[in-house]
Chains A and B, each alone.
Chain A
Amino acid sequence: EPEVTQTPSHQVTQMGQEVILRCVPISNHLYFYWYRQILGQKVEFLVSFYNNEISEKSEIFDDQFSVERPDGSNFTLKIRSTKLEDSAMYFCASRLFGVVNTEAFFGQGTRLTVV
């Protein structure tokens, strides 16, 4: 069964460092998402991406964040200068385009710890 894969599963980084979280969406999906979940809190929307551009982003997704689909298969989230409050589980998701009522398929997540 096709699945969304994320690497690494756990990343520890020092405050101020740049991190790149990687995702391989399901191959025929065209809508991609990043969500984050701070420990014990709700799943929060960060950004959606379609046709090689951001289609929607939340207030959380400030200038420190960027997304990219560099090679047609990977979908990355970059945090330029990490802060302690960026520590969270980051989930990538993908979805078929054109059918609004389809579900998003989520990866297993990357746990980011900023120290």
Chain B
Amino acid sequence: AQSVTQLGSHVSVSEGALVLLRCNYSSSVPPYLFWYVQYPNQGLQLLLKYTTGATLVKGINGFEAEFKKSETSFHLTKPSAHMSDAAEYFCAVSSNTGNQFYFGTGTSLTVIP
């Protein structure tokens, strides 16, 4: 079985500060991990994904995430927050059959001017 835990349902950062959104996964097989972003009243947009290979993956809008197997983590970071980054962020893991995605509960990011 697979699952995702996102620590912190709400994160606030100042504009220009580091963004760190936490995601830990549980998987009995090598996971495929994803971060999606949801802007208000919109659908889910892929930020980045980890499949195999390099453990540090770069995504859109300056975001990146590092797969750490020893810590079962896939935390999302951005060096400098921008006002436009305010959104809901979801971490997801793909099932070993590829049939479905398991989503975390989401983290709402607020950027303070």
CB nearest neighbor in A for B9: A40
Q: Is the CB of B94 within 8 A of A100?
A: yes
| Cα-based distance from A44 to B97 in the complex (angstroms) | 18
Q: Is the CB of B43 within 8 A of A108?
A: yes
Q: Per-position contact with A for B46-63: 1 when CB-CB < 8 Å, else 0?
A: 100101100000000000
Q: Is the CB of B100 within 8 A of A33?
A: yes
Q: Is the CB of B52 within 8 A of A104?
A: no
| Cα-based distance from A35 to B36 in the complex (angstroms) | 14
Q: Is the CB of A42 within 8 A of B104?
A: yes
Q: Which residues of B contact A104 (CB under 8 A)?
A: 101
Q: Is the CB of A48 within 8 A of B100?
A: yes
Most buried by A among B32, B43, B103, B106: B43
Interface size on B, residues (CB 8 A): 23
| Cα-based distance from A105 to B44 in the complex (angstroms) | 8
Of residues 84 to 104 in A, which have CB atoms within 8 Å of B's CB atoms? 91, 93, 95, 100-101, 103-104
Most buried by B among A48, A55, A101: A101
B28 interface residue (CB < 8 Å to A): no
B84 interface residue (CB < 8 Å to A): no
CB contact between A108 and one of B42, B52, B100 (< 8 Å): that residue:
B42
CB nearest neighbor in A for B102: A45
Known: A42-B90, A45-B101. 20 other contacts (CB 8 A): A41-B105, A42-B103, A42-B104, A42-B106, A43-B44, A43-B106, A48-B99, A56-B99, A93-B44, A93-B101, A100-B32, A100-B97, A101-B51, A101-B52, A103-B46, A106-B36, A106-B43, A108-B42, A108-B43, A109-B43
The 9 closest A-B pairs by CB, nearest first: A101-B51, A100-B98, A106-B44, A43-B103, A42-B105, A108-B43, A106-B43, A56-B99, A101-B32
A-side interface residues toward B, CB under 8 Å? 4, 6, 31, 33, 35, 41-45, 48, 55-56, 91, 93, 95, 100-101, 103-109
